[in-house]
Structure 1
Amino acid sequence: MKDDILAQAAEWLDAGEPVAVATIVRIFGSSNQPLGARMIITRDNRFEGAVSGGCVETDVYETSQNVLTTGNALMLHYKHVENPLVEIGLNCEGKIDVLVEKLDRATLDLLRTGPERRVTVTLCTPGTPSEPNARHAQIAPDGSGSNGLLPEAVIRDALTALRDDKPVSTTYADGTVALFEPVLPPPTLLIFGGDVTAQPLVRFAKILGLRTVVTDARPAFATREKHPDADEVIAAWPAEVIRRVGVDARTFVVSLNHEPRFEDALMLALAGHETGYLGAIGKRARHEERTARLQDAGLDMAQLPTIHTPIGLDIGGKSPEEIALSIIAEIVAVKNGRPGGMLIAHFARAMAAES
């Protein structure tokens, strides 16, 4: 989504149109959009992206027109309002600070993702709405890139955000706010088993911005014709795939074939490797059988990441598309450290705890 709207911004700039960008630089409590969410705006009621659930976008658009005219950045503060028909604000209980600034080509290029690992840093002072003193920088993994213009504390916090692989906002003693946005290659969804579920799973993953690799030791199942949407299709045994692709904390591994000769080869190949997620299709009895086989082969199960099996969230899916949806939903839940249950149950528990 971020790259999509920045690509649109590039088109507008190339056409000679003025462009403003609005960015959530700080969140207090809850928010409909995540930290670093953006809108890009030009003239004639044209904009892309969002900074809320539709509550304040009109106000952001109107403010951006002033920014486009004057060239001066502005800081907007939004909080929860009781009556959104007569007040401008949020329906959720949180607060957000939104920086609105005129976008030039240099800033656009800095914000766009690329192959180099780095952290984009946006600095501003929300306490001065008419003069937020917006500026941008980028920090490389070795701490270089700021040309000596950033304090050591900012560089240190930028590198922490890069290691944690998530945007974070930090407020310093002088009132300066720094939005840190790690720029990393997309995470990889590594699918073992070119069965029918792999096809919709790839499509869901692509929507989420994941790099997708489909692999199967059976050449007939690992063809470009069967998996046209995948970034890479590999016909090889798991050990060779792991060697070629590599796995780390940003790799989500899915096993769609519980035939022992393939599944055991995968688990043995993954021993000692870190993954962001490891899921295996099959009922609980299959997992018990799998564990017994691997232990008989001399594998210490502690060498493996946690295996999520039966795979996916319990949504009752039977079709390949429904099964793929449950799998990708579980991956997102695990990535975000959430249990993946129904939100209504979560709120019911919270209300019961308060009573």
Structure 2
Amino acid sequence: MCSHISCCSPRQARPQPCSSTTSFSDSRCDSGQLTHHTTSSHSASAESSSPSGTEQEIDDREEAASCHRASHPPHVMSERKEVIERSMYLASTGSPGVLATIVRTSGSTYRRAGTRMLIEAEGKLTGFISAGCLESDLSEHAKRVLVTSQAARVSYDTTAEDDIIWGLGLGCNGLVEILLEPVSSPSARAKLEILSRALQTTSKGYLVTVVESTHPAAGTGSYLFAENEGNILSDLKDPQLRLQLEREIHRQSENIHPWYTTVGFEGYHLALMVEFLSPPMALTIFGSGPDIAPIVELAQSLGWNTTVIDKHPEAELRKRFPKAHSVRTLSVPVSIESFAIDEQSVVLIMTHNYLVDIELLRVLLPSSVRYIGLLGPKRRGEQILDTLRTEGMEITGEQLLRLHSPIGLDIGSETSAEIALSIVSEIQTVRSHRSGGFLRDRNSTIHDKSQEAS
């Protein structure tokens, strides 16, 4: 059984009752009140309808201000890791808890699909789904999930102009659909194991979660995980259905953002959320100066795996950078094979040693590393490149595009913490294919349409 709760806006002046019939599309309540009805996850109707209301082409920062203003305390570990580890702990100890996952978004929403939050029985939250707009209401729905031990879907639709008056009063003009699952359920525990391994290994793959289904062998919360190496993990018993879901993965195998889709299979219909799982971003820093520690700490809070490499013994490096994922002693001569980096890696050169920087750039520029940051003034970087050219090295335009010298965004940094913020912000800008400018000057949506699971 799966509970489907819609939190929605009025469509007419006169309140209309919510339909009590089983429907594969979103339920609507024109009175603007929260409504709750229980439907079988195997008895929904045919196709998912598009969310009603016109989707905004351009996010309005002022309309979403009520959601964006809330602040949250920094976490020592990444939010994603904290949610997963705490959820696994509750499941292993038999403690009650509900895992909330955003499975679909449209329009202006604070978080994207794939975001998770843990709701414990006494109300403690780990992570967040919104900026405080939805958490209280979700906690009430989580209590029902704990009572029934069944998954539930909750939809919040704030696309109506009069939502501020009659609805939840968020003013965000978006739709978000959330799946609530008891952490003790077999499917939730299996997915948590998969998510945990994704944070610890270098393997990649696609995780498919069944959001709604009319198929008797595919309940809400069922899953399939397809690793790039070809391994398949799933609680779906029908082999043909598994093949159908694998085909859906291959159909959009270039998509690294979560997506929501509906598929038909032998007369049955399923709504799915598909996520690409990959290892945390790998950041390699060459150097051991005091300016590196703030970068390591900030990177850790983002869930990045940071490796510090320098001439000092590993024991000394570990004392200097206890929050680094790993430390290594720089070997001579320098070789790219000894760094364990690839096309997804990010590298910072912060040795404060001119000759060492030359040797590092000699091997890093021809590599496939996606980002190379060189500390120091622009003239110093140009001198290093001139030296390499004089020695006969051919430096291409593509290589120069990956080289950032001076390193960081122009935010007026002075202190080591401010410099770290500048550097990490530039890395995030590059990996997100953004410009790093003011959001108020952006002439399109805050989140790319390709990142919407709709």
Match of 1:201 in 2: 295
Deviations 1:282-312 (A, max 9, x none): 2222232222112122222227361112111
> Hey, what's the Cα distance between the residues in 1 that align with 2:252 and 2:404?
27
2:153–2:180 Cα contact (<8 Å) kept: yes
> Compared with structure 1, are the counterparts of its residues 249 and 92 closer, same or farther at alpha carbon in structure 2 (3 Å cutoff)?
farther
Q: CA deviation at 1:132?
A: 7.6
1:272-287 alignment runs, 5 A limit: 272-287=366-381
> Compared with structure 1, are the counterparts of its residues 157 and 299 closer, same or farther at alpha carbon in structure 2 (3 Å cutoff)?
farther
> Hey, what's the Cα distance between the residues in 2 that align with 1:109 and 1:349?
35
More helix by share: 1
1:140-179 alignment runs, 5 A limit: 140-146=227-233, 148=239, 150-152=241-243, 154-158=245-249, 166-174=256-264, 176-179=270-273
> Hey, what's the Cα distance between the residues in 2 that align with 1:49 and 1:279?
31
> Hey, what's the Cα distance between the residues in 1 that align with 2:388 and 2:350?
18
1:24–1:97 Cα contact (<8 Å) kept: yes
Match of 1:353 in 2: none
Match of 2:175 in 1: 95
2:347–2:371 Cα contact (<8 Å) kept: yes
**2:283 partner SS:** strand
**1:311 partner SS:** coil
> Which of residues 131, 138, 143 is equivalent to 1:65?
143
More displaced stretch, 333-342 vs 297-306: 297-306
> Hey, what's the Cα distance between the residues in 2 that align with 1:349 and 1:13?
38
> Hey, what's the Cα distance between the residues in 2 that align with 1:220 and 1:152?
48
More displaced stretch, 215-224 vs 326-335: 215-224
1:195–1:221 Cα contact (<8 Å) kept: no
> Which of residues 296, 304, 324 is equivalent to 1:230?
324
Deviations 1:94-149 (A, max 9, x none): 2111112223253224223212543322122399xxx9833112112134315635
> Compared with structure 1, are the counterparts of its residues 228 and 43 closer, same or farther at alpha carbon in structure 2 (3 Å cutoff)?
closer
More displaced stretch, 248-257 vs 41-50: 41-50
> Which of residues 140, 156, 160 is equivalent to 1:78?
156
Structure 2 residue 348 is the aligned partner of structure 1 residue 261: no
> Which of residues 297, 320, 326 is equivalent to 2:422?
326
Structure 2 residue 399 is the aligned partner of structure 1 residue 316: no
- Which amino acid counterpart does residue 235 of structure 1 have in structure 2? T
**Gap regions ≥5 residues in structure 2:** 1-78, 447-454
2:335–2:363 Cα contact (<8 Å) kept: no
> Compared with structure 1, are the counterparts of its residues 282 and 109 closer, same or farther at alpha carbon in structure 2 (3 Å cutoff)?
same
Q: CA deviation at 1:153?
A: 5.4
Match of 2:110 in 1: 32
> Hey, what's the Cα distance between the residues in 2 that align with 1:221 and 1:299?
36
Deviations 1:265-287 (A, max 9, x none): 11111143212321111222223
2:206–2:275 Cα contact (<8 Å) kept: yes
Match of 1:108 in 2: 189
> Which of residues 131, 136, 150 is equivalent to 2:223?
136
> Hey, what's the Cα distance between the residues in 1 that align with 2:271 and 2:245?
10
More displaced stretch, 18-27 vs 325-334: 18-27
Q: CA deviation at 1:334?
A: 0.9
Structure 2 residue 215 is the aligned partner of structure 1 residue 119: no
> Compared with structure 1, are the counterparts of its residues 330 and 75 closer, same or farther at alpha carbon in structure 2 (3 Å cutoff)?
same
Q: CA deviation at 1:23?
A: 0.9
> Hey, what's the Cα distance between the residues in 1 that align with 2:336 and 2:251?
28
Report the RMSD for the aligned CA atoms in angstroms. Answer: 3.2
**Gap regions ≥5 residues in structure 1:** 351-355
Q: Which protein shows a greater Rg?
A: 2
1:52–1:90 Cα contact (<8 Å) kept: no
1:4-23 alignment runs, 5 A limit: 4-23=82-101
> Compared with structure 1, are the counterparts of its residues 260 and 220 closer, same or farther at alpha carbon in structure 2 (3 Å cutoff)?
farther
> Hey, what's the Cα distance between the residues in 2 that align with 1:66 and 1:187?
37
Q: CA deviation at 1:61?
A: 1.3
1:311–1:327 Cα contact (<8 Å) kept: yes
> Compared with structure 1, are the counterparts of its residues 5 and 271 closer, same or farther at alpha carbon in structure 2 (3 Å cutoff)?
same
Match of 2:284 in 1: 190
> Hey, what's the Cα distance between the residues in 2 that align with 1:251 and 1:240?
17
Q: CA deviation at 1:249?
A: 2.7
> Compared with structure 1, are the counterparts of its residues 92 and 323 closer, same or farther at alpha carbon in structure 2 (3 Å cutoff)?
same
Match of 1:341 in 2: 437
> Compared with structure 1, are the counterparts of its residues 97 and 30 closer, same or farther at alpha carbon in structure 2 (3 Å cutoff)?
same
- Which amino acid counterpart does residue 184 of structure 1 have in structure 2? S
> Compared with structure 1, are the counterparts of its residues 145 and 325 closer, same or farther at alpha carbon in structure 2 (3 Å cutoff)?
same
2:310–2:328 Cα contact (<8 Å) kept: yes
TM-score between both structures, scaled by the size of structure 1:
0.85
Match of 2:9 in 1: none
**2:189 partner SS:** helix
2:314–2:327 Cα contact (<8 Å) kept: no
**2:404 partner SS:** coil
**1:341 partner SS:** coil
> Compared with structure 1, are the counterparts of its residues 113 and 12 closer, same or farther at alpha carbon in structure 2 (3 Å cutoff)?
closer
The answer to which structure, 1 or 2, has the higher relative contact order (CA under 8 A, 6+ apart) is: 2
TM-score between both structures, scaled by the size of structure 2:
0.68
Deviations 1:209-264 (A, max 9, x none): 11111112466996333222222222214764632332113211011135431111
More displaced stretch, 173-182 vs 316-325: 173-182
- Which amino acid counterpart does residue 139 of structure 1 have in structure 2? A
> Compared with structure 1, are the counterparts of its residues 342 and 241 closer, same or farther at alpha carbon in structure 2 (3 Å cutoff)?
farther
**2:317 partner SS:** coil
Aligned length: 347
